Structure 1
Amino acid sequence: MGFLSKNKYTLYGVAAILLWSCLVALLRDVSELFSPIGGAAAMYTVSAVFLILVMGLPKLKGFSKRYLVIGTLLFVFYEVCLALSIGMANNRHQAMEMAVINYLWPTLTILLTIMVGRKKVSLWVYPSMFVAFLGVAWCITGDQEMSLDTLTTNFADNPATYLMALAAAFIWAVYCVVMQKLSNGKNAITLFFTVTAMSLWGQYGFSNEAPLTFSLSSSMTLLLAGVVVGSGYALWNQAIIGGNLILLGTLSYFTPVFSTIISALYLSISLSASFWQGVVLVTVGSLICYFVTREKPKRTVN
C-alpha cells in the first residue's frame, strides 16, 4: 500500500502511456464500425464528455489568448490528421504504417528544439534521427526491396493517408515545442478535445459518408474507445504533478512498440519480421535522441 501511495503519480503516467498505446487499434475499429470521419467524430465526442465529467469545464480566464488559439489549432489539426490517416487507410496493415509514421514526432520534436534553441548537441543526435526515419521506411517497404521506387509505389497507393500521417508527426512536434513555452504549466485539454469533436462533425456534415448506425456492440466499442483515450490524457495530467518524469519520458518512447503489440492483437493482424524491425528502429532512434539531448538535472548544494 505504501508503494502505491508513494508512486501513484508515476503509476498514473504508466497507465496513460498504455492507454495511449490502444489509440490506433481503437481508432481503426471505430472507423470500420461507423466511418472514418463520423466514427472519429463520435469517439472524440465521447472523450470530450468524459474529460468534462472528470476534469470539469475549462476556465478560459486562466489561459493566455495565444495559448488557447495556437494550442487549439495545433491540437485539432493533429488529432484530425491522425484519426483520418488511420481511418482512411486501405486496410488494417496500412493503418499500422500510418501509426509508425506518426511516431516520428519524438525525433522531430528534438530536431525542432535543436533548430529553435540553436544549442550545441551531441553528434549522436543525427545518426539516431536517421535510424528513426530508416525504421519508418523499413515498415513501409515490408518484405520488398528497400528502394526509393518501392517507397514511391507504396505511397502512390494511398497518398492522402501517408501525407496526413506525416503531417500529424510534424504538427505534434511543433505542438510540443511551442506549447511548452506558452502553457505556463496549464492544460486546456478538455477544450481541445471539444473543438476537435466539433471540427470532425463539421467535416462529417460536408462528407459523403453514410448516416451513423448504432448497435449495442458498436456503441460499447465507441464508449470504450472514447473513455480509454480520454482517460489517457486525464491520467497524464495527474502524472506530471508528481510523477517520475525521467522514467515516464523514457517509457513514452516505447509507445510505438506497445501500440504495435496491442494493435496486432486487437485487430488480429499478422505483422512481418521486417515491420517489427522497423518499429524497433524507430524506438531505438528516438530513445538515443532523447538520452543524448536530455538536460541533466542540476545538483543542488545544501
Structure 2
Amino acid sequence: MQSRYKFTLFGVMAVLLWSGVLHIVRIVSEDFGAIGGAALVYTYSALFLVAFSGIPNFKKYPKRYVVFGGTLFVAYELCLSLSLGFANSREQSAQVLIVNYLWPLFTILGALISKSTHAKSLLLLPGCILAFVGVCLVVSGSSNLLEGILSNVISNPLAFFLAFSGAIIWAIYCNLTKSMSGGHNAISLFFVFTACTLWLKWYLLDVGFESGFSFSSVFLLALAGAGMALGYGLWNKAIIGGNMILLAVISYFTPVFSGVFAALILGVSLHQSFWFGVVSVTLGSLLCWQSTRHKNQHIRQVQTVLDNTE
C-alpha cells in the first residue's frame, strides 16, 4: 500500500512539474528565440532521459509505433513549444497554454468516435460546452468576450493555431499509441526525434539565437530540460503502480496549476476572466471524464485516456 502512495505521489509531482516547466520554456524562448530555445530545451531533455533510461534500442519497438507514434509526438511537442515561443507576450503564452489543455476533452471525444468507450450524454454535452466557454473566456482577455477573442487571435493567429492543433494531435496520440506500442515506452527516442527536428528547422531557417549565453539563461535552460524529462519519468512510474483514478482527477486540474505558476514564474497579472475560464475548462474536462465512467470499467477507461502520456 505504501508503494502505491509513493507512485501516486510521483504522478502528482509530474503534473506540478509540467504545469510549471512550460512557463520556464517561455522564458528560455525569450533568451534564445522560439525555435532555438525549443531545440535547446528538448536536447537537454533528451540527454537527461537517455542518461537515466539508456540509449533507445530501435529493434525492440514496433515499427508502426516508432513511425506513427513518433510523428504524432514530435508534431505535438513542436506545436506546444512553438506556440509558447511565438506568443506576443507572457500573458498570451499563458493563454495559449490553456488552449492546449483542451486535449483531455479531445481525447475523450476521440475515444467516443472510435467507439473504444461510451459516455453519458447528459454529462458529456455540458462538459464540452463548459470547456469551450472556458477557453473563450481565457482568450478574450479583459475585453468584451467576442471582441476580445477576435482581437487576441487576429493579433497572433499562428500561436493560437499551434496550441489548438497541438491539443488535437495529442488526443490522437493518446487514443492510437496504446494499441501500437505493444507495452513499450519510446519516450527517450521520441525526445531525440523532437530535438533533431527542431535543430533541422533552426538550421534551414537560419534564425540564430536571440541573445548571447549567460549564466541565468543557461541555468533556466537546464532547469526546463531537466524538469520536462523528470516530469515524463515520474509519470511513467506513476502509471505503473499509482492510483489512476486519483491521478486522472488531479491531471484535469493542470490548467489551474498552470495559471498559478504563470503568475509566479512569469510575473504576469492574470485578469478575472482568465481564472473563470481556467475553472470552466477544468470543470468541463472533469464532466467529460465523468461521463465515460461506468462501475465496472473505471480503471480501464482512465488508462485509455491517460496512460499514453508516457
Report the TM range for the smaller structure's normalisation. over 0.9
- Residue 182 of structure 2 aligns to a residue whose secondary structure is coil
1:60: which partner in 2? 58
| Cα-to-partner distance string for 1:267-296 (whole Å, 9 max, x where unaligned) | 101001110000000000001111121343
Structure 1 residue 208: deviation in Å? 4.3
Q: In structure 2, how many angstroms separate the alpha carbons of the residues matched to 1:130 and 1:113?
A: 18
Change over 3 Å in CA distance of 1:263–1:298 after alignment to 2: closer
RMSD of Structure 2 on Structure 1 (CA): 1.6
- Residue 36 of structure 2 aligns to a residue whose secondary structure is helix
Structure 1 residue 6: deviation in Å? 4.8
Structure 1 residue 180: deviation in Å? 1.9
Change over 3 Å in CA distance of 1:298–1:281 after alignment to 2: closer
Higher helix share: 2
1:215: which partner in 2? 214
2:26: which partner in 1? 28
CA contact (8 A) 1:24 1:263 kept: no
Change over 3 Å in CA distance of 1:79–1:146 after alignment to 2: same
CA contact (8 A) 1:23 1:229 kept: yes
CA contact (8 A) 1:33 1:39 kept: yes
Q: Which residue type is aligned with residue 60 of structure 1?
A: F
Q: What is the TM-score normalised by the length of structure 2?
A: 0.91
Q: In structure 1, how many angstroms separate the alpha carbons of the residues matched to 2:239 and 2:144?
A: 43
Q: Percent identity?
A: 46
Q: Which residue type is aligned with residue 32 of structure 1?
A: E
Change over 3 Å in CA distance of 1:119–1:282 after alignment to 2: same
Q: In structure 1, how many angstroms separate the alpha carbons of the residues matched to 2:10 and 2:241?
A: 10
Q: In structure 2, how many angstroms separate the alpha carbons of the residues matched to 1:285 and 1:63?
A: 36
CA contact (8 A) 1:86 1:161 kept: yes
CA contact (8 A) 1:121 1:293 kept: yes
CA contact (8 A) 2:25 2:221 kept: no
2:261: which partner in 1? 262
Q: In structure 1, how many angstroms separate the alpha carbons of the residues matched to 2:57 and 2:11?
A: 24
2:233: which partner in 1? 234
Q: In structure 2, how many angstroms separate the alpha carbons of the residues matched to 1:28 and 1:17?
A: 18
| Cα-to-partner distance string for 1:85-126 (whole Å, 9 max, x where unaligned) | 001100001101110100000001111111111755212101
1:116: which partner in 2? 114
Change over 3 Å in CA distance of 1:246–1:201 after alignment to 2: same
CA contact (8 A) 2:117 2:292 kept: no
Number of residue pairs the alignment of both structures matches: 296
Q: Which residue type is aligned with residue 240 of structure 1?
A: I
CA contact (8 A) 2:108 2:289 kept: yes
Structure 1 residue 264: deviation in Å? 1.3
1:75: which partner in 2? 73
Q: Which residue type is aligned with residue 283 of structure 1?
A: T
Q: In structure 2, how many angstroms separate the alpha carbons of the residues matched to 1:221 and 1:298?
A: 42
Change over 3 Å in CA distance of 1:240–1:120 after alignment to 2: closer
1:202: which partner in 2? 200
Q: In structure 2, how many angstroms separate the alpha carbons of the residues matched to 1:207 and 1:254?
A: 37
Change over 3 Å in CA distance of 1:62–1:118 after alignment to 2: closer
Q: In structure 2, how many angstroms separate the alpha carbons of the residues matched to 1:20 and 1:82?
A: 12
Q: In structure 2, how many angstroms separate the alpha carbons of the residues matched to 1:210 and 1:115?
A: 43
Q: Which residue type is aligned with residue 236 of structure 1?
A: W
Change over 3 Å in CA distance of 1:6–1:290 after alignment to 2: closer
Q: In structure 2, how many angstroms separate the alpha carbons of the residues matched to 1:240 and 1:159?
A: 36
Task: Name stretches of at least 5 consecutive residues in structure 2 with no aligned partner.
Answer: 299-310
Q: Does 1:191 align with 2:203?
A: no
- Work out which of the residue numbers 87, 98, 101 in structure 1 matches 2:99: 101
1:87: which partner in 2? 85
Structure 1 residue 24: deviation in Å? 2.3
CA contact (8 A) 1:40 1:200 kept: yes
Change over 3 Å in CA distance of 1:207–1:276 after alignment to 2: same
| Cα-to-partner distance string for 1:107-153 (whole Å, 9 max, x where unaligned) | 01111111111755212101211110110001111222222x54223
Q: In structure 2, how many angstroms separate the alpha carbons of the residues matched to 1:197 and 1:174?
A: 21
Q: In structure 2, how many angstroms separate the alpha carbons of the residues matched to 1:286 and 1:178?
A: 20
Q: What is the TM-score normalised by the length of structure 1?
A: 0.94
Q: In structure 1, how many angstroms separate the alpha carbons of the residues matched to 2:136 and 2:198?
A: 30
CA contact (8 A) 1:55 1:234 kept: no
